[in-house]
A and B are shown apart, each in its own frame.
Chain A
Amino acid sequence: MHNRTIASLATGLQTGEFSATELCRHFLARIDACNDTLNCVITTTAEGALEAAQASDDRRANNAALGELDGIPLLHKDVFCTAGVRTTCGSKMLANFVSPYDATVVERLHQRGAVMLGKTNMDEFAMGSTNEHSYFGPARNPWNTEHVPGGSSGGSASAVAAGFAAFATGTDTGGSIRQPAAFCGVTGLKPTYGRVSRYGMVAFASSLDQGGVFARSAADVAPALNAIAGFDPRDSSSSQHPTDDYAANLAQDLRGLRIGVVREHFSDGLDSEVADCVHAAAATLREAGATLVNISLNETALTVPTYYVIALAEASSNLSRFDGARYGHRADNPQSLEDMYERSRSEGFGDEVKRRIMLGTYALSAGYYDAYYGKAQQLRRLITEDFARAFTDVDLILAPTTPAPAFRLGELVDDPVNMYLSDIYTCAINLAGLPALSMPAGQSASGLPIGAQLIGAHFQESRLLNVAHAFQCRTQHHLAAPDTGAYAEISR
């Protein structure tokens, strides 16, 4: 049941094949059985989930079901505030923080009747590419538990791959949805900046952060995006651009579509198995009627440093509110104000977060602002223009999501620079504010999933899902599921 599509689950609920409560119990049992090994869920909300499922069953009994997502189980990345349920951001700082309000994304999915099963593991404050930088321990890759699920939304990707929920939310600042989606063999969409409200999403880098969705297929991403997309008056950066019915446009023909492949992407840094998968995906899309075009993006080499200067500068300021004064971790017996700040923040934040706060503070400091932040903003404009130019020629771009399949646990823990460089194919998209998704495109010889990325022009989410769906109609990659039998304790 946990590998069925959302459409099929919705049909099952509608026909009475199973109730929302039964569905909920099934997924909760999956979490129970596998989470000790995978550690992809930080907080399980079984009681609330069963209540919500019962409410969904009651609605259905009264012919008042709320639509396709009513009764469908999901998990939220623990970066989204949930009223009454702790929101930790994977940090000791917020380990006991309970928000009084729901994030807009949480609220909108709740309004559609989706049933929250819990909150997923993540790199602390969404800072990391491996999920090893979590106060709650690393989440693991369900395909091979010696490997990371990616990050920062590693818990959500791992949970969807392992069948913990029909879909999960995530956030993507420089690749934090797409990279773990690629590592775990699921479909992950990062929408256009401003498409999904950031209200209630704990900020990492405000001008780059964007909420999105993990699911097993593009067809499953679509209804979830329908729920969360759209203007929110509480987020000044959210867009008034009209939304589409993302589920309605999946089946469009690809004939006449021009898809760009970027020459600069296929350089020495790219693993040959990943390159092969992307080329194979290109071939499949060509067979489906699209025209493949080679294009150039000039600024590729500059994207990672540009991204990190801007992201960390914003982060250094965004994380100032965690000062021990009003909520979150406060050091015992502070001797002075400075002592309270210093020890609360030293104890509450992990090493990677501290490293990023220091780098970002440096980039904004007097005398360095122009050389770092100012220069990065100029480059950001060039990168954005580079993409805009590309989209005058092509409708979308096909690219690798990551340079290589999932790292081994521990491989990059002490090598932050190489961890940062692994964002090479994803972070430029955030700088330009574009929508992009990662879809399963094959496996390595060692059995790890490989993803391919589709990048669209602003607000082209419908087109991305349409092309990914066409690809998934012609391939089986997204149907592959990890064998969780080895570590699932069938305890019930």
Chain B
Amino acid sequence: MTWETVIGLEIHVQLATKSKLFSGAAIGFGAPPNSQACAIDLALPGVLPVLNAAAVSMAIKFGLAVGAQIARETIFARKNYFYPDLPKGYQISQLEAPIVGPGHIDIELANGAQKRIGITRAHLEEDAGKSLHEEFEQYTGIDLNRAGTALIEVVSEPDMRSASEAIAYLRKIHSLVRYLQICDGNMQEGSFRCDANVSIRRPGAELGTRTELKNLNSFRFIERAINFEVERQIDVIESGGSVIQQTRLYDPDKHETRPMRSKEEAHDYRYFPDPDLLPVLVTQASIEALRTELPELPDAKRERFKQAYELSQDDAHQLTSSRAHADYFELAASTSGHPKLTANWMTGELAAALNRSNTDIVDAPVQAQRLGLMVARIADDTISGKIAKQLFEIMWSDERPVDALIDAQGLRQVSDSSAIVGFVDAVIAAHPAQVQQLRDGNTKVIGFLVGQVMKSSGGKANPKHVNQMLRTRIEEQTS
């Protein structure tokens, strides 16, 4: 009998606001501990929260981008628990009337089909600080720089059926929040975090008991953690046991999940509406104003790329994976005037080079206009495609203009007949057998002969011209 995996994700998206959700303290990763925590973040006696309007706007933009209902009246609630990095003893979050209601997003499956994943809700909440257990002997250090940072928690429906679907969904949300410029998406720094709810069941049966996986801070770990957990649950059930609803931590070093101590999760959060914050009223006019600010979203951009540039589904998908990729492509393509060839170069050489040097496209040493110019030089026969690969390597480390490099490196393709004819005649003379085969009607052998001419010209001869000239010269000699 087979098992069906059921996955739902809770994603914490750190909003790219200048200040915190309820205080004016600045936000920035890596500042000295407690240098970005004001009286409100420290929960000094008497302080009060004041909502950051920019965070609300960002949450609404997210909601609009996933086709969700936006609450016209949204309420903040206190989630009560004691922990040293939670200064107030409660987190200001949302329970009832979250800012973003039900929505959805479409993911692409491995077989190319689309699947719709439901988004249950997304709510605004403040982040906690950090507890540093390692640095201080016998003590725990508390850094409240992160305390109060604005997050949206995006809760999905349990609509995913495999780890790879979960990753596809996660990547889609990751791409979306960066398109919207509401999050920097940095998983290492914790700006984009994910918890996974995982259960298994017989196909068609009721939902099984789920476990919640925490501590998932890279796409790779998330996939591995889910796969491990699915195997573990299958083992438990098939050996006659039952899955216990619990929170489990993923340990990437040991590649296993293990339960958190039950004390850590035995919480009654005693949610109640925060009396320090009045319900927030969102007008239709403000929603519409934010809608007009939305950028072109990934799905729309992909479809436009397919239509306008005649790109394949795969290329369009890859080139719209981030706003930076899409912007790079559009600039490079308009510079070259040859979108398809530009796309090939981006998904081929550029992608490989970025990967090799572990560089983000925004920091690529070859920027969009230079790549576009290079592609233009291929298209106008200034250089050959083969030489272009050589040129691209040079451009990666040499900032000089494309045309200057072509000349300096002597890469210009030789299309001048008088320059090529010598190479051609020499090859004809050196390979009589192949020439005879060609005369006998074996046209395939032309490739070999062209190759020989290219070789002797150092790759600079224009292969189209070489091909043409070989045929002409052989015919001339025959007649």
Contact = CB atoms under 8 A, between A and B. Distances in A.
Given A99-B45, A234-B48, A321-B43, A369 B276 contact: no
Given A236-B276, A313-B272, A81 B46 contact: yes
Interface string A357-386: 000010011100100010000000000000
B275 interface: yes
B272 A323 contact: no
A206 interface: yes
Contacts of A206: 274-276
Given A236-B276, A326-B87, A365 B46 contact: no
A403 to B, nearest CB: 28
B50 A321 contact: no
A199 B47 contact: yes
A451 B166 CA distance: 68
A83 to B, nearest CB: 11
A100 B39 contact: yes
Contacts of B80: 316-317, 320, 364
Contacts of B270: 316-317, 361, 364-366, 369
B221 interface: no
A365 B267 CA distance: 10
A320 B46 contact: no
A207 to B, nearest CB: 4
A234 B88 contact: no
B89 interface: yes
Given A97-B45, A206-B275, A365-B268, A317 B50 contact: no
Contacts of B47: 199-200
Contact count band on B: 20 to 34
A327 interface: yes
B419 interface: no
Interface string A318-359: 011101011100000000010001000000000000000000
Interface in B119-162: 140, 142
Contact count band on A: 35 or more
A233 B50 CA distance: 8
A249 interface: no
A338 B80 CA distance: 16
A39 interface: no
B44 interface: yes
B90 A320 contact: yes
A100 B44 contact: yes
Contacts of B48: 198-199, 234-237
B50 A236 contact: yes
B42 interface: yes
B268 A203 contact: no
Contact of A321 (B45, B51, B142, B278): B45
Contacts of A341: 82
B45 A87 contact: yes
A237 B43 contact: no
Interface in A77-115: 80-81, 87, 89, 94, 97, 99-101, 103
Contact of B272 (A94, A99, A101, A364): A364
B190 interface: no
A237 B272 contact: no
Contact of B82 (A323, A364, A369): A323
A102 B462 CA distance: 81
Contacts of B44: 81, 99-101, 327
A202 interface: yes
A320 B45 contact: no
A323 B89 contact: yes
Interface in B42-90: 42-51, 78, 80, 82, 84, 87-90
Interface in B15-40: 39
Contacts of B275: 205-207, 237, 314
A236 B84 contact: no
Contacts of A207: 275
Nearest to A100: B39
Contacts of A337: 84, 140
Interface string A222-244: 00000000000111110000000
A89 B89 contact: no
Contacts of A94: 45
Contacts of A327: 44-45
Q: Which of B43, B45, B78, B275 has the most CB atoms of chain A within a 10 A radius of its CB? A: B45
A201 interface: yes
Contacts of B84: 323, 325, 337
A296 B278 CA distance: 31
A369 B50 CA distance: 27
A236 B39 contact: no
A233 B39 CA distance: 16
Which 3 A/B pairs are nearest by Cβ-Cβ distance? Answer: A320-B89, A207-B275, A206-B275
Given A323-B84, A365-B270, 13 more contacts: A81-B44, A81-B45, A101-B39, A202-B45, A202-B46, A206-B274, A235-B48, A316-B80, A320-B82, A321-B45, A323-B82, A325-B142, A341-B82
15 contacts: A81-B46, A199-B47, A201-B46, A237-B278, A314-B275, A316-B80, A317-B90, A317-B272, A321-B89, A325-B84, A326-B42, A341-B82, A364-B270, A364-B272, A373-B272
